[in-house]
């Protein structure tokens, strides 16, 4: 049998019908809904005379629109209350399991899938959210869908897709001090550009990936869409199996043994071909920080803001000038030392327990600079409970951070939690687009430890100075 890739194996095993010209109808194993798309999609489905084909394979949770204020309830954000009530009514009516606000299991869709054991190697996992590529960190084939596709999946438990090309990115070597999964993936995007993965399913491999925790792998895969790759994935191994063992919806008993036997067949075979391969020596990577309005606008924290005059063409030069104007920065200025107003530690990129431990290690025994608003928003109820069991909430609160309830919050600011115009944040999120954290708000992307260091310093700073 010809050598095959992880992507190829999962794709092939999910084809219901080959439609020609590279298109196929694929079976969907898991479909997760969130509060921004559930109500409208379910109402439209019903009005068109369909029922949910497989409610038992459909999961829902409110994350984008919920308040993260401690003590929250459905009316904390009055503008969103009708949406949340509609979400509850429609998921109940459709017989879909929802992990409701303040219920164990609630959280950001891409945090709860893995932690509940719903995301499993070899599964095809979709959600109406572009960061569904996150689930590839456990060897699933995950990708985001548009609204009409959400309705198609609800009605048929299948999806029509064009098969992408395949790319492998090999991260080899040992990361230096203060360099995290977030730094590696931001560095890659800076190297290959925001369109460097267009039209490809990406597999991450190499010694640095092999040595990485599952939570780091989820962070890596989360940003795949930020360089145009709809799919990012990593071959399952013992690290993935250990992570999944004993989780709420993981296989158990004899089913666990059967699952492991299947999962072991999934990794890419030696000699399998990719359309493109990229090698990254992680020893060359320092802690990263974005300076502009795209994740590709990224530099090491000790670099200076780039000069648009060095751009290769007029379009790039104009884009860089526009980004610098929006961000209020000057070419040639050191990025370190830029004063900030906000720090946001959260989102489906960096709100897991290991992220909070990293940030907590910097915050411990220190104080947030007066005048800086610093928020920690755990990615899920489970993350929050674990952090509180470890006393991390007290570490953050004593340092002057706000300790909040799980949700997307200031990643998208869809729940009204936004940064005032003109203010500047360091955020652990995945998008620094204009207006992403509020109209006129300026966002610098970085790792959790870099964000915590910025909160203490009141400015963008090299976290390594604060590391023992
Ligand atoms: S945390 Fe941000 S990127 Fe992730 S699902 Fe929520 S809004 Fe989307």
CATH number at residue 34: 3.30.499.10
Q: Are residues 93 and 203 in the same domain?
A: yes
Tokens of 70: 């401690």
**Domain span holding position 243:** 1-286
pLDDT bucket at 462, cuts 50 / 70 / 90: very high
Q: Are residues 368 and 241 in the same domain?
A: no
Buried b (16+ CB within 10 A) or exposed e, 100-132: bbeeebbbbbbbbbbbbbbbbbbbbbbbbbbbb
Q: Are residues 189 and 327 in the same domain?
A: no
Chain-wide mean pLDDT for the chain? Answer: 97
Q: Give me ligand 1 centre to Cα 376, in Å.
A: 15
- Of 259, 286, 313, the residue at which a domain comes to its end is 286
Q: Are residues 97 and 160 in the same domain?
A: yes
Question: What does DSSP assign to residue 267?
Answer: S
Q: Are residues 258 and 310 in the same domain?
A: no
CB contact at 8 A, 435 and 455: no
> What are the φ and ψ backbone dihedral angles of 258, each rounded to 5 degrees?
-65, -40
Looking at the CA of residue 414, tell me the nearest atom of ligand 1. 7
* Distance between CA atoms of residues 299 and 285, nearest Å: 10
Q: Residue 52 pLDDT > 90, yes or no?
A: yes
State the sign of the Cα–Cα–Cα–Cα dihedral 99, 105, 109, 112.
Answer: negative
Q: Are residues 72 and 119 in the same domain?
A: yes
Q: Residue 75 pLDDT > 80, yes or no?
A: yes
Strand, helix or coil for residue 187: helix
Residues enclosing ligand 1, CB less than 6 A?
63-64, 108-110, 129, 131, 347-348, 408, 411-412, 430
Number of structural domains, the chain?
2
Q: Give me ligand 1 centre to Cα 115, in Å.
A: 16
Q: Residue 168 pairs with which residues in a beta bridge?
A: 203, 277
Tokens of 120: 């499993």
CB contact at 8 A, 60 and 33: yes
* pLDDT tens per residue across span 206-224: 999 999 999 999 999 999 9
Residue of 110, 218, 383, 435 to test ligand 1 pocket, by largest number of atoms within 8 Å of CB: 110
Q: Are residues 109 and 150 in the same domain?
A: yes
Share of the chain above pLDDT 70, in %: 100
Nearest protein CA to atom 6 of ligand 1, as residue: 408
CA 281 to chain centre: 23
Question: What does DSSP assign to residue 263?
Answer: H
Q: Give me ligand 1 centre to Cα 1, in Å.
A: 40
Q: Can you tell me the mean pLDDT for 420-437?
A: 98
Q: Are residues 35 and 132 in the same domain?
A: yes
- Of 239, 255, 286, the residue at which a domain comes to its end is 286
pLDDT bucket at 468, cuts 50 / 70 / 90: confident
The pLDDT value given to residue 130:
96
Which residues, at least 6 apart from 341, have a Cβ–Cβ distance to it below 8 Å? Answer: 371, 372, 373, 419, 420, 423, 424, 425
Q: Are residues 316 and 181 in the same domain?
A: no
- Of 286, 308, 329, the residue at which a domain comes to its end is 286
Q: Can you tell me the mean pLDDT for 125-129?
A: 98
Q: Are residues 352 and 231 in the same domain?
A: no
Looking at the CA of residue 346, tell me the nearest atom of ligand 1. 1
Looking at the CA of residue 109, tell me the nearest atom of ligand 1. 5
> What are the φ and ψ backbone dihedral angles of 278, each rounded to 5 degrees?
-130, 135
* pLDDT tens per residue across span 337-376: 999 999 999 999 999 999 999 999 999 999 999 999 999 9
H helix or E strand, kind and range, residue 97 = strand 97-98
Q: Can you tell me the mean pLDDT for 69-94?
A: 95
* pLDDT tens per residue across span 169-208: 999 999 999 999 999 999 999 999 999 999 999 999 999 9
Strand, helix or coil for residue 302: coil
The pLDDT value given to residue 312:
84
State the sign of the Cα–Cα–Cα–Cα dihedral 260, 246, 61, 375.
Answer: negative
Q: Residue 1 pLDDT > 90, yes or no?
A: no
Q: Are residues 267 and 380 in the same domain?
A: no
Question: What does DSSP assign to residue 380?
Answer: B
Tokens of 20: 């020609």
Q: How would you classify residue 315: left for phi > 0, otherwise alpha for psi between -120 and 50, otherwise beta?
A: alpha
Which residues, at least 6 apart from 360, have a Cβ–Cβ distance to it below 8 Å? Answer: 387, 392, 395, 396, 452
CB contact at 8 A, 421 and 439: yes
Q: Residue 64 pLDDT > 90, yes or no?
A: yes
Q: Residue 146 pLDDT > 80, yes or no?
A: yes
* pLDDT tens per residue across span 250-269: 999 999 999 999 999 999 99
Q: Give me ligand 1 centre to Cα 348, in Å.
A: 6
Tokens of 12: 């092939």
Q: Are residues 331 and 244 in the same domain?
A: no
Note if the pTM is more than 0.95: yes
* Distance between CA atoms of residues 200 and 342, nearest Å: 35
The pLDDT value given to residue 405:
98
Beta strand residue intervals within 206-292, DSSP E: 231-233, 276-281, 288-290
The pLDDT value given to residue 397:
98
CB contact at 8 A, 142 and 14: no
Among 424, 461, 448, 427, CA closest to 341: 424
Nearest protein CA to atom 1 of ligand 1, as residue: 347
- In this structure, the chain runs to a length of 468
CB contact at 8 A, 292 and 432: yes
Nearest protein CA to atom 2 of ligand 1, as residue: 411
């Amino acid at each position: 049998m010809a050598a095959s890739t992880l992507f190829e194996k999962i794709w092939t095993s999910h084809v219901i019908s080959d439609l020609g010209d590279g298109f196929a109808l694929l079976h969907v194993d898991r479909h997760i809904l969130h509060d921004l798309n559930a109500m409208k999609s379910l109402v439209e489905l019903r009005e068109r005379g369909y029922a949910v084909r497989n409610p038992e394979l459909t999961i829902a949770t409110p994350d984008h629109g919920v308040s993260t204020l401690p003590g929250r309830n459905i009316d904390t954000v009055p503008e969103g209350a009708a949406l949340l009530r509609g979400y509850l009514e429609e998921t109940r009516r459709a017989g879909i399991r929802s992990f409701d606000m303040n219920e164990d299991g609630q959280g950001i869709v891409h945090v709860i899938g893995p932690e509940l054991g719903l995301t499993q190697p070899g599964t095809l996992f979709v959600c109406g959210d572009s960061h569904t590529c996150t689930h590839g960190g456990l060897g699933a084939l995950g990708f985001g869908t548009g609204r009409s596709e959400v309705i198609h999946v609800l009605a048929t438990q299948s999806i029509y897709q064009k098969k992408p090309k395949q790319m492998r990115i090999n991260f080899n070597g040992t990361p230096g001090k203060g360099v995290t999964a977030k730094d590696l993936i931001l560095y890659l995007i800076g190297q290959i550009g925001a369109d460097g993965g267009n039209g490809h399913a990406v597999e991450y491999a190499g010694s640095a990936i092999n040595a990485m925790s599952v939570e780091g792998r989820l962070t890596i895969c989360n940003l795949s869409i930020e360089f145009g790759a709809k799919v990012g994935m990593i071959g399952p191994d013992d690290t993935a199996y250990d992570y999944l063992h004993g989780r709420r919806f993981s296989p158990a008993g004899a089913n666990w043994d059967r699952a492991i036997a299947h999962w072991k067949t999934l990794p890419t075979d030696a000699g399998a071909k990719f359309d493109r391969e990229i090698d990254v020596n992680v020893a060359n990577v320092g802690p990263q920080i974005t300076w502009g309005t795209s994740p590709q606008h990224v530099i090491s924290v000790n670099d200076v803001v780039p000069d648009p005059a060095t751009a290769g063409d007029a379009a790039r030069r104009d884009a860089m000038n526009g980004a610098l104007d929006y961000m209020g920065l000057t070419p040639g200025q050191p990025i370190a030392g830029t004063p900030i107003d906000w720090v946001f530690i959260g989102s489906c990129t960096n709100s897991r327990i290991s992220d909070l431990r990293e940030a907590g290690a910097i915050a411990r025994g220190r104080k947030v600079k007066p005048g800086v608003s610093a928020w920690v928003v755990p990615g899920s109820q489970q993350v929050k409970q674990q952090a509180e069991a470890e006393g991390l909430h007290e570490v953050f609160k004593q340092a002057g951070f706000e300790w909040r309830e799980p949700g997307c919050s200031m990643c998208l600011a869809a729940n009204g939690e936004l940064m005032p115009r003109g203010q500047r944040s360091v955020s652990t999120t995945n998008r620094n687009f204009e207006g992403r954290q509020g109209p006129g708000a300026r966002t610098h992307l970085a790792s959790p430890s870099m964000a915590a260091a910025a909160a203490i310093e009141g400015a963008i700073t090299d976290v390594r100075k604060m590391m023992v």
